[in-house]
Amino acid sequence: MANPEIDKNKKSCIIELHWLIGALVVVFFALFLSSTIFRTNNTTSISCHCAQGPAKYSEDVEKCCCDYETVNHLNKEVLHPVLQELVKTPFFRYFKGLCSINILGGLDVPVILNSHIGHSVSLNLSFSTLLDTSYVELMFLLATADSVPLLSYHVLRLQVKLWCDCPFWPDDGMCHLRDCSVCECPENEFPEPFKAQSHRRSSSNLVCLEENTEGAVDRTIDSKAFKGWVEVDNPWTNDDETDNAEMTYVNLQLNPERYTGYSGSSARRIWDAVYIENCPKYPSGEICPEKKILYKLISGLHSSISIHIAAEYLLDEASNTWGQNLTLMYDRVLQFPDRVDNLYFTFLFVLRVVTKAADYLDEASYDTGNPEDDLKTQSWVKQLVYNPKLKAACPLPFAEARLWKGQGEPDLMQQIQTHALMDCIGCEKCRLWGKLQVLGLGTALKILFSVNGQKRLGETLHLQRNEVIALINLLNRLSESLMLVHEMGPSLENVMGKQTSTPSDQPSMTGSF
Ligand SMILES: Cc1cc2nc3c(=O)[nH]c(=O)nc-3n(C[C@H](O)[C@H](O)[C@H](O)COP(=O)(O)OP(=O)(O)OC[C@H]3O[C@@H](n4cnc5c(N)ncnc54)[C@H](O)[C@@H]3O)c2cc1C
C-alpha cells in the first residue's frame, strides 16, 4: 500500500530535481550565449586572443583572429599541399623579372623612357635626391629635364630588365657563389602564349650565365597572350606588361630561394635601407607605431628569407654538400620571438588578401596555351581560395578594417622605393626572389586597399599577371617557412637553449639531404 508521506516526499523531490535541471539548463544556456558573444566579438576585434604558439613563441599573432596552432594545422593540412602544386603549374612558375629604373653607371642617371616615346632623358639624380623626392616631384624633375615635353605617368614607364643596376649606389655585387646566378634556358620549355612573336630572340642569345646553375630564363614576352589580364600601371610597383624584349622570364622552380653566399656590407645595406624606408625610426631602435604594419611585413619577409637560406645551405663547398643549417636558423630567426611572430603575421596578412580576392582569382584567366595544365591551375586556385577547412578554421585571419586605423594607407613612394632597392641586391637569384616577394607584398596591399564602399572587389581591382604570380609564390614561400618553424622550432629551442651560441655561419647543427 502506498505511503502518502513517502509519495509526498517523492513528489517534492521530483519537483526540486526539475527545478535543479531547469536552473542548470538556464546556467548552461547563459554560459553558451556569453561564450558565443565573446567569440563573435573576438573575430571582429583586433585584440582577439590567440592560443598558445610553439613553446617560446607563445605570444599572440598580433592583430590576428586566428591562433598559432590553428594556423600551423591549417598550413600543414590544407594550404601547404595546395600551394606546392599551384606553384609548379606553368602559369605560376614563370615570373617576369623587372626593375624600376635602369641606370648605366655611377650616380648619374640616364633614364631611358619607353621606346615608343622615343626620348632619352639624362638626369643627375643622386641617391638622396631619389630618396628625398616625392613621386610627383620626381616626375616634374623628369618632365623639366632637357627639352622633353611634360611627361605623363605613362611616359614615366622606364625601360626595365631583370639585371638592371641599382638606382641608389654603384653596384658592388658581393656574391661569389655560382648559385647567385639565374640561368637562361631553352625556349622550348616556355609556355607558348608567353612568347612575343615580334620579339622572339634567337636561341644563340640564350646563354647560361653559369654553366651548371639550375635556372631557366627566356627574355621574350607576349603582352597579348593573357586577354583576361588588364595591362594598366600598377601604382605600387611600377610594373607594366608592355612588349619589351629586355624583360626576362624566369622559371622559379629551377631557381630556388636558398643560400647563395650573398652577405656582408652589401646585403646589410639593403636590409637597413628597406627598414629605414618603411620605419624611419629603425636606426635608433625605437619602434615606429605609425609604420608598424609595414615594418612587421618586411620583418616577416626577412625571417622567411633567412629560414630558406638556413633550410638549403651549402654545408661544404668543396664537396658541394647541401643541407639544413639549424644553428643559423636559430641564430637569425627562432631565438627572436618577434621575428617569428612577424613571420606568422605576414603569412596571415597575405592569406587574408588571397581569400579576400577569392572571386577575382577564381574568375581570372590562367591561360598558358595548354588547356590541360590550365584547367589544373584553375582547380588548384579554387581549392586554395574556397577551401571549406580554411573558411571554417580561419574565417577572418585579419580585421583589416582596423588594421591601418590611425596609420593611414601606406605611402606610394615607399612602395616604389622599396621595390627599387631590390635592384641594388648584388646577387641575381636573391634579386629575383627579393623583387618577386616585394611585388607580392605590394600586390597584397593593393588588393587590401582596392575595396571601395559596397562595390565588389572585381569592379575596383585590376591585377596584372605578374602580380598574381608574385602573390601566390610569396604565400607559398611563407607557408614553407611556417612549416619549417613549426617542425624545427620546439626541438631546436631545446637543444640551442642548452648550447652556448656558435657563430651562425658555422653549421654546428646540420641536417644534410
Ligand atoms: C631582399 C634580399 C634577398 C636576399 N636573398 C638571399 C638569398 O636568396 N640567399 C642568400 O643566401 N642570401 C640572401 N640575401 C642575403 C641575406 O638576407 C643576409 O643579408 C645575409 O645572409 C647576411 O646575413 P646577416 O647574418 O648579416 O643578417 P641579415 O639577414 O643581413 O640581417 C641584417 C640585420 O637585420 C636585423 N634582422 C635580421 N632579421 C630580422 C627580422 N626578421 N626582422 C627584423 N630585423 C631583422 C638584424 O639586426 C640583422 O643584424 C638577401 C638579402 C636581401 C636584402
Give 127-174 pLDDT, tens digit per residue: 334 433 433 344 444 544 444 443 332 223 333 333 456 666 665 554
Ligand 1 within 6 A of CB of 434: yes
Q: Is residue 95 within 8 Å of 406, Cβ to Cβ?
A: no
Ligand 1 within 6 A of CB of 302: yes
Q: Quick one: which of 246, 248, 255, 184 has its CA closest to 216?
A: 184
Q: Cα(263) to centroid of ligand 1, in Å?
A: 8
Ligand 1 atom with least separation from CA of 438? 1
Query: Which of 218-222, 313-317, 451-455 shows the lowest mean pLDDT across its residues?
Result: 218-222
pLDDT digits (tens, 9 = 90+) for 420-441: 778 788 787 888 899 899 989 9
pLDDT digits (tens, 9 = 90+) for 451-479: 654 455 555 677 888 889 999 999 999 99
With a cut of 80, say whether residue 122 has pLDDT above it.
no
With a cut of 70, say whether residue 93 has pLDDT above it.
yes
Q: Which three cell numbers stand for residue 145?
A: 629635364
Q: Cα(271) to centroid of ligand 1, in Å?
A: 7
Rounded distance between C-alpha atoms, residue 296 and residue 278, angstroms: 10
Q: Is residue 279 within 8 Å of 252, Cβ to Cβ?
A: no
Average pLDDT for residues 239-246, to the nearest whole number? 42
Rounded distance between C-alpha atoms, residue 40 and residue 29, angstroms: 16
Tell me whether residue 338 is exposed, middle or buried, using C-beta atoms within 10 angstroms of its C-beta: 0 to 12, 13 to 18, 19 or more.
middle
Q: Is residue 165 within 8 Å of 127, Cβ to Cβ?
A: no
Residue 13 is predicted with a pLDDT of 52
Rg (CA), the chain: 27
Rounded distance between C-alpha atoms, residue 493 and residue 470, angstroms: 32
Ligand 1 within 6 A of CB of 306: yes
With a cut of 90, say whether residue 207 has pLDDT above it.
no
Residue 97 is predicted with a pLDDT of 64
Which residue's CA is minimally distant from atom 2 of ligand 1? 434
Ligand 1 within 6 A of CB of 345: no
Q: Quick one: which of 377, 412, 427, 226 has its CA closest to 435?
A: 427
Q: Cα(61) to centroid of ligand 1, in Å?
A: 22
Ligand 1 within 6 A of CB of 96: no
ipTM: 0.99
Average pLDDT for residues 322-348, to the nearest whole number? 93
End-to-end Cα spacing for the chain: 86
Q: Quick one: which of 236, 255, 251 has its CA closest to 444?
A: 236
Helix runs in 279-336, H state only? 292-311, 326-329
Which residue's CA is minimally distant from atom 45 of ligand 1? 299
Ligand 1 within 6 A of CB of 309: yes
Residue 157 is predicted with a pLDDT of 30
Question: Which of 64, 65, 99, 427 does the annotation list as catalytic?
Answer: 427
Q: Is 430 in the active site?
A: yes
Q: Quick one: which of 55, 81, 45 has its CA closest to 340?
A: 55
Q: Strand pairing of 313-316 and 321-325?
A: antiparallel
Q: Cα(395) to centroid of ligand 1, in Å?
A: 33
